[in-house]
Amino acid sequence: MAQVFHPSTNTLSKVSIFGGVFFVLGALWLVDELNRSPYVTQAGVVRAQPVAFGHKHHVAGLGIDCRYCHTSVEEAAFAGIPSTKTCMTCHSQIWTEAPMLEPVREAFRSDASIAWTRVHDLPDFAYFDHSIHLAKGVGCSTCHGPVDQMPLAWREHSLNMEWCIECHREPERFVRPPSEVFNMDYEPAQPQSELGPALVRELHIKGRTNCSACHR
Amino acid sequence: MSRERSLRWCGPLLLSALCATGCRQDMHDQPKGEPMEASAFFADGRVARPLVEGVVARGELDLDPHLSTGKVGGKHVETFPFAIDAAALERGRERYGIFCAPCHDAAGLGEGMIVQRGMKRPPSLHIERLRAAPVGYYFDVISNGFGAMYDYADRIRVEDRWKIIAYVRALQLSQNATLGDAPADERARLEAQ
């Protein structure tokens, strides 16, 4: 009986087995990259909001402190989103006719909530706490980027576990004096390679990498 | 035959893969309520619940009207409910900067950034009437608002309100100091200028 397959198919089958491995690895790599891409993590993607509230206007333009609106950021896990009343402390007098602010006035009149679109949202199985980070000298801008320059808010970092761990392994690369955490234009006065380790010693900063720190 | 066997595995595999991704979302967004989340359960659509009438939060029982209302016997108090030290004054300075300076400006003259953009102009904190006002009056203004100024009761803790008032008092002293208030050695230097 004649050979069904030509001898060259030997090579072909070897190549396809070999190629298959690469194909699988490549597919895995692609999935991994996709998971880190802004498409999945939403990093850098500007969110539409019910009111076009601009940090750029209010923080950089008017010099209002973060804590005027995000009141609980120093004391609690949750930073706090300002109530409608907080907006109205100024907007009962300023831009009272602006159609842009109609949803705010409407919510104030009817005691409804403004449904802001969340920009940062960790999965519910991960625990995060603002107060400890501020007390240990991690500034808003380290995690949230140049908020004071954002016309509409976006997320600066992926918020992947990888990102948290990168800092928890080596906090000395990122920490600043706790008095500077609200400073959006912070530049270290001395090289970070000297300042960082000194702060870690002074504030007794521990690198938290045990799973139960964040998955409790 | 072998083709058939592998096909038989395909179904369950696909199903478990689907299940796994399904669970993933479940754990990402659990039925628990996060702060300020929307709720499908409560009529007002909010997870955050208002306190039931008459509830007193732990540690917030109002035992000292001097501290928590700034009034004793219906009159504004003249004294602070606790001793003001340097740390309290520093805290007051910080809080004043966050909550009052946008309108009243850093010196208390009433020319803050928001006023420059069209807010009603508040009176200077250095006018005679306000310098003579008892500290309890300031507490009242911060806690209950005054005219066009909304109250700050939900955003500034009771202790911090008193510390802000202490700082306002310090500001008033600083803006209205006379040469006689300076220590002797400083006075000589100032007179030379």
What CATH number did the domain enclosing B163 receive?
1.10.760.10
The DSSP letter of residue A72 is: G
Q: Across chain B, what does the average pLDDT equal? A: 84
Kindly state the percentage of chain A with pLDDT values over 90.
62
CA atoms within 13 A on the CB side of A191: 2
Nearest by CB to residue A124, choosing from B29, B35, B114, is B29
Classify residue B112: in a domain, yes or no: yes
Tens-digit pLDDT profile for residues B25-74: 678 888 888 888 888 888 888 888 888 888 888 877 778 889 988 999 88
pTM: 0.90
Confidence of residue B193 (pLDDT cuts 50, 70, 90): low
Classify residue B60: in a domain, yes or no: no
Query: Which range among A22-31, A91-100, A121-130, B182-191 shows the weakest confidence by mean pLDDT?
Result: B182-191
Long-range CB contacts for residues B103-110, cutoff 8 Å, separation at least 24: B103/B149, B107/B171, B107/B175, B108/B168, B108/B171, B108/B172, B108/B175
Confidence of residue B5 (pLDDT cuts 50, 70, 90): low
Q: Is pLDDT of B1 > 60? A: no
CA atoms within 13 A on the CB side of A177: 10
Q: Is pLDDT of B19 > 70? A: no
Kindly state the percentage of chain B with pLDDT values over 70.
84
Look at residue A165 and give its three-state secondary structure: helix
Q: Which amino acid is at B48?
A: A
User: Rounded to whole angstroms, how far apart are CA atoms B163 and B85?
Assistant: 9
Mutating which of B103, B150, B154 best tests the A interface, going by the most A Cβ atoms within 10 A? Answer: B150
Burial class (CB in 10 A: 0-12, 13-18, 19+), B142: buried
Would an 8 Å CB–CB cutoff place A83 in contact with chain B?
yes
Nearest by CB to residue B114, choosing from A62, A81, A113, is A62
Tens-digit pLDDT profile for residues B121-134: 999 999 999 999 99
Expressed as residue numbers, the domain containing B115 is: 65-192
In chain B, the number of structural domains is 1
Classify residue B12: in a domain, yes or no: no
Specify whether the CB–CB gap between A125 and B30 falls below 8 A.
Answer: yes
B27·A125 Cβ contact <8 A: yes
CA angle at A177 for the pair A175 and A180, rounded to the nearest 5°: 105
Q: Is pLDDT of B181 > 80? A: no
Classify residue B96: in a domain, yes or no: yes
Classify residue B110: in a domain, yes or no: yes
Q: What is the mean pLDDT of residues B161-186?
A: 84
Q: Which amino acid is at A177?
A: P
A window 117-136, beta carbon within 8 A of B:
123-125
Kindly state the percentage of chain B with pLDDT values over 90.
50
B window 14-53, beta carbon within 8 A of A:
27-30, 32, 34-36, 38, 45-46
Of A87 and A44, which is predicted with more confidence?
A87
Nearest by CB to residue A94, choosing from B32, B118, B150, is B118
Q: Is pLDDT of B99 > 50? A: yes
B window 153-192, beta carbon within 8 A of A:
154-155
Q: What pLDDT, on the 0 to 100 scale, is given for residue A120?
A: 92
Would an 8 Å CB–CB cutoff place A115 in contact with chain B?
yes
* Contacting residues of B for A125, CB less than 8 Å apart: 27-28, 30
